[in-house]
Each structure stands twice: as structure tokens, then as C-alpha cells.
């Protein structure tokens, strides 16, 4: 019976059962680098800037129209400082297609409104508008940082990062004290803290003298001294409020990583790291770090943008290849996080089809919700391709679906890649508390996702 079981049934095993000592060392090294990336790159601009710098250091050059391209060339295309596409040119013609890994580098956060600064009850605040799907109550009473850029009136740009250095101040959103929360606690969780209450405390000391709004004026004076800003400059700014602090190891065994924005920098880093590690592949390897995934992949830097075609066409033209032919023969791994099974909330998952921490990269045939709506729904052939590619490379992987059928769901860039006539499969790192200010992933799954991206590039 045991033998029959072994040969006929699909019984999965925890990834640690097969992890060799050398793999463990590699995993720890990889995760240490990932942590540095996370701590440096908390929004799409920072991730794009980091990718450009690191790519240059790894021999990548900027792709421009008309540039000659040969096998082994390493190229990047910076899409307006918010998204980046990189490629290592393969030995085969682009007519045979490319192997693409696509992740996103934007994460849920609070963006400043165009007119953010105000004073109320002698406290200065920024008004915000949340970006992406957040549980608003999670953002009160935690340490917050501000990241972003401001275009000043004279056209000069200033970068802002406050709240990350140990000596920096942090920022804060208040919640109601429990003692007076009788009414608040009767509300549904969606209403406990509402959008217009996500107001960020900036300070409380008034300038000394006559007049109103002297706390606000004090804050503006400080911003003027440090960054040369006047209030009107907020009209041309992208400033984000997000959780302050670094990625931390979690658990006595340190097997987990807790950080803001694993979704989806955990896949973005896996793609980048493995792209930097490969030599000339057979098929051209393409790595995408997209923006705006959290709000529908829209806009000029989102995955629905024609910027992808613009880059691929430059490559194709260099080889005299038709872009459509290249896309038709390409494969895309849409690398984005999935929901790890959480025994605290077991009721939302189909245990037999949910991914688990430490079982490797999660492969999803489809995402979507209520009848697979919005999913790209990979074919048996596409799933077979991924299965055999990962098995051959010795990558630990598992199957996943996003929650119980009637429970909800989600989607990512997969559908937009598939719409381009590219065979696409969803895959990614299992996460606990996705979209929370601190998300949790396992080191083993991070490492296996990096190996999976590498295997796809080299397929």
C-alpha cells in the first residue's frame, strides 16, 4: 500500500525536508541581500533607481532606438523612473520568443493629497488618500515614514526620505482611546478608521508671534529650510506615507521575514537577482518591474502601458524581427505574491488548494474572483511547461488558489501579459497578512522563487 501510494498519489512535503546544507547557506545569503533591497527600496521610484544602478554595475547599458544588439548583451529601459524593463539577449533570434518574468514594485500606502498641509486644534497634519487595498485601521498608531519627490516651482526636483534613519523623527496617525470607544467599537472594521481620518501628525509647536495656523507655518518653515519648499510645491509632488523601519527576521528559528511591501518586491528582487546571475540564455530573458499594479496596472508606468511594446520593439528591430511574432512565441511568469494558508483564518481557504509557507514558490493556474472573473487562466500546456521547467531545475514549488471560491479573490499583471498574446502563468511567494503594514514571508519560499525565475529565464 505504501508503495502504491507513493507511485500514485501526490503527497507534498515541507521544503525543509529536502533543503541541503549548501542550499541553506545560499538561502541565507540571498535573504540577507533581499533585506538590504527592502530597506532601501520602499516605493517604485526607489526600486527603479536601485535596479538601474545595480544593473549598470552588472554590465547593463541603456536600450535606445537604433542600438545594435547581439547575444549576451545586457540592456535596460527606465520607464520614467517608476518602472524598469531589463533584458539579457539570448543566442536564439527574438523571433523564437522571450522568457519574461514580470513583477511589480509599488505597494499599498498612503499618498499625500495635492493640498495636504493643514492645522487643527494646534496640531499640524498631512491629508492622505490611500493607494491600493488597505485595511485602514491597520495604519493608525504605527511608526510612519515619508518617501518621495517634489518638483519645485523652478523645475528642480528634491527627494524626501524622513523616518528611516534612527535619528529621524517618525510620523503618526492617531486612533481613539479605548476608554471612549463605545461607539467606535460597534462599527464594522471598514469604518473603524475612515479614509478622511488617515491624517498624519507632523508637529505641534507653534511659531511665537501673532496670527493663526502658527503650527502649520512652523512645519512649512522647517520644510523650506530643509528642502526649499513652499506650500504650492505640494501641487507637483509625489509624497508617500508608509511604515517606517527595516525588514526583520521573525521567530526563534529566524525562518521568516517581516517587512512592509513584500508584495511584490519579494518577486521583483528574485527576478533581478537571478537575471544578474545568468550568462547568455538561449531565449532572450526579460525582467519587468512594473508600477501601478495595486491600482489596476493603469497609467503610463503600469503593465497595461505600451511602454512594454516600445522596449520589445526596440529589441526586435535590432534583429529585424516582427514584434508580434516575438510576443506570440514568448512565455511570461507573472511573479506576484499569493496568500499563504493561515490557520488563524482557515475558513477563507480551500486547504487542499491553498499554498503554504515553506512549500516553495506558489504556482496559480488562475486568480480572479467569482467564477474566475479577471483571471488569465493558464492552459494545461502552460502549466505543464512551468511544472517540467521547475522540476528539471530542482525548484520546490506548490500549487495555489486565492481563497475559497465564493470568498473573494484578486488579480495581477498576468491578464495584461496574456492579452498581448503571450502564454502566461501566475506564480509567487506565499505571504501572511498581505497588504498589512508588516507582511510575513518564509526565507525558503523567497529563495525558491529566485531559483524559479532563473529556471524560467534559462528555459
Figure out which of the listed residues 44, 106, 264, 445 binds Mn ion, where binding follows CB under 5 A: 264
Report the nearest approach of Mn ion to the CB of residue 267 (Å): 8
Which region, judged by CB under 5 A, interacts with Mn ion, from 84-92, 195-203, 318-326, 328-336?
328-336
Give the residue from 265, 233, 234 showing the smallest Cα distance to 247: 265
Closer to Mn ion by CB, 263 or 313: give it.
263
Which region, judged by CB under 5 A, interacts with Mn ion, from 152-160, 330-338, 350-358, 415-423?
330-338
Core vs surface per residue 55-91: b (16+ CB within 10 A) or e: beeeebeebeeeeebeeebbbbbbbebbbbbbbbbbe
Residue whose grid cell is 493561515: 342
Dihedral, CA of residue 299, residue 301, residue 304 and residue 309, to nearest 10: 130
Start-end of H helices in 58-154: none
Closer to Mn ion by CB, 321 or 431: give it.
431
Report the nearest approach of Mn ion to the CB of residue 297 (Å): 10
Cell (9 digits) for 102? 514580470
Core vs surface per residue 300-329: b (16+ CB within 10 A) or e: ebbbbbebbeebbbbbbbbbebebebbbeb
Report the nearest approach of Mn ion to the CB of residue 369 (Å): 14
φ, ψ dihedrals at 211, nearest 5°? 130, 175
Closer to Mn ion by CB, 264 or 313: give it.
264
Report the nearest approach of Mn ion to the CB of residue 299 (Å): 16
Closer to Mn ion by CB, 264 or 445: give it.
264
Indicate the burial class of 95 (C-beta count within 10 angstroms; 0-12, 13-18, 19 or more).
middle
Closer to Mn ion by CB, 313 or 336: give it.
336
Closer to Mn ion by CB, 73 or 264: give it.
264
Cα–Cα separations (whole angstroms), residue 439 to 147, 155, 266, 307, 344: 19, 37, 11, 30, 15
Cell (9 digits) for 313? 520593439
Report the nearest approach of Mn ion to the CB of residue 243 (Å): 15
Start-end of H helices in 228-347: 262-277, 307-318, 323-328
Report the nearest approach of Mn ion to the CB of residue 362 (Å): 12
Residues 129-148 that bind Mn ion (CB under 5 A): none
* Bridge partners for 171 per DSSP: 144
**Residue count at the site for Mn ion (CB under 5 A)?**
3
Which region, judged by CB under 5 A, interacts with Mn ion, from 120-128, 135-143, 231-239, 334-342?
334-342
Cα angle, residue 446 at apex, residues 288 and 287 outer, rounded to 5°: 10
Closer to Mn ion by CB, 46 or 263: give it.
263
Report the nearest approach of Mn ion to the CB of residue 257 (Å): 16
Report the nearest approach of Mn ion to the CB of residue 456 (Å): 18
Question: Does residue 445 belong to the site contacting Mn ion (CB under 5 A)?
Answer: no
Report the nearest approach of Mn ion to the CB of residue 436 (Å): 11
Question: Does residue 336 belong to the site contacting Mn ion (CB under 5 A)?
Answer: yes
Question: Does residue 263 belong to the site contacting Mn ion (CB under 5 A)?
Answer: yes
Which region, judged by CB under 5 A, interacts with Mn ion, from 62-70, 262-270, 322-330, 376-384?
262-270
Which region, judged by CB under 5 A, interacts with Mn ion, from 37-45, 244-252, 255-263, 344-352?
255-263
Report the nearest approach of Mn ion to the CB of residue 184 (Å): 28
Which region, judged by CB under 5 A, interacts with Mn ion, from 65-73, 123-131, 333-341, 357-365?
333-341
Q: How far apart are CA 405 and CA 138, in angstroms?
A: 26
Cis-peptide into 264, omega within 30 deg = yes
Closer to Mn ion by CB, 268 or 444: give it.
268
Question: Does residue 111 belong to the site contacting Mn ion (CB under 5 A)?
Answer: no
**Where does this chain bind Mn ion (CB under 5 A)?**
263-264, 336
Amino acid at each position: 500500500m505504501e508503495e502504491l501510494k507513493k507511485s500514485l498519489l501526490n503527497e507534498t512535503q515541507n521544503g525543509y525536508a529536502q533543503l541541503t546544507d549548501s542550499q541553506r547557506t545560499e538561502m541565507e545569503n540571498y535573504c540577507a541581500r533581499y533585506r538590504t533591497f527592502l530597506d532601501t527600496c520602499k516605493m517604485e521610484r526607489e526600486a527603479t533607481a536601485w535596479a538601474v544602478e545595480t544593473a549598470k554595475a552588472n554590465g547593463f547599458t541603456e536600450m535606445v532606438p537604433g542600438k545594435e544588439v547581439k547575444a549576451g548583451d545586457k540592456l535596460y529601459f527606465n520607464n520614467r523612473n517608476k518602472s524598469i524593463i531589463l533584458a539579457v539577449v539570448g543566442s536564439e533570434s527574438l523571433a523564437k520568443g522571450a522568457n519574461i518574468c514580470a513583477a511589480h514594485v509599488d505597494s499599498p500606502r498612503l499618498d499625500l493629497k495635492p493640498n495636504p498641509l493643514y492645522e487643527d486644534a494646534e496640531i499640524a497634519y498631512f491629508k492622505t488618500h490611500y493607494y491600493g487595498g488597505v485595511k485602514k485601521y491597520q495604519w493608525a498608531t504605527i511608526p510612519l515614514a515619508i518617501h518621495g519627490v517634489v518638483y519645485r516651482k523652478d523645475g528642480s526636483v528634491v527627494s524626501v526620505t524622513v523616518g528611516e534613519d534612527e535619528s529621524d523623527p517618525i510620523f503618526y496617525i492617531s486612533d481613539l482611546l479605548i476608554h471612549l470607544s463605545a461607539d467606535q467599537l460597534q462599527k464594522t472594521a471598514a469604518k473603524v478608521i475612515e479614509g478622511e481620518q488617515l491624517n498624519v501628525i507632523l508637529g505641534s509647536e507653534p511659531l511665537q508671534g501673532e496670527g493663526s495656523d502658527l503650527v502649520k507655518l512652523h512645519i512649512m518653515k522647517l520644510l523650506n529650510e530643509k528642502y526649499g519648499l513652499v506650500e504650492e510645491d505640494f501641487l507637483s509632488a509625489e509624497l508617500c506615507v508608509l511604515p517606517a523601519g527595516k525588514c526583520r527576521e521573525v521567530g526563534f528559528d529566524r525562518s521568516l521575514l517581516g517587512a512592509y511591501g513584500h508584495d511584490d518586491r519579494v518577486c521583483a528582487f528574485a527576478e533581478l537577482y537571478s537575471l544578474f546571475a545568468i550568462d547568455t540564455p538561449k531565449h532572450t530573458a526579460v525582467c519587468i518591474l512594473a508600477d501601478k499594479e495595486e491600482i489596476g496596472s493603469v497609467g503610463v508606468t503600469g503593465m497595461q502601458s505600451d511602454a512594454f511594446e516600445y522596449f520589445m520593439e526596440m529589441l526586435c528591430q535590432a534583429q529585424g524581427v516582427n514584434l508580434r511574432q516575438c510576443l506570440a512565441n514568448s512565455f511570461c511568469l507573472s511573479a506576484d505574491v499569493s496568500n499563504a494558508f493561515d490557520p488563524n483564518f482557515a475558513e477563507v481557504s480551500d486547504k487542499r488548494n491553498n499554498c503554504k509557507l515553506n512549500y516553495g514558490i506558489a504556482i496559480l493556474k488562475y486568480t480572479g474572483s467569482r467564477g474566475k472573473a479577471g483571471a488569465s487562466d493558464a492552459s494545461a500546456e502552460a502549466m505543464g511547461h512551468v511544472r517540467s521547467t521547475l522540476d528539471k531545475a530542482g525548484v520546490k514549488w506548490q500549487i495555489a488558489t486565492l481563497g475559497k471560491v465564493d470568498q473573494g479573490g484578486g488579480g495581477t499583471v498576468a491578464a495584461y501579459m496574456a492579452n498581448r498574446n503571450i502564454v502566461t502563468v501566475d506564480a509567487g511567494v506565499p505571504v501572511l497578512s498581505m497588504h498589512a503594514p508588516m507582511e510575513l514571508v518564509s526565507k525558503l519560499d523567497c529563495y525558491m522563487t529566485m531559483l524559479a525565475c532563473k529556471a524560467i529565464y534559462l528555459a
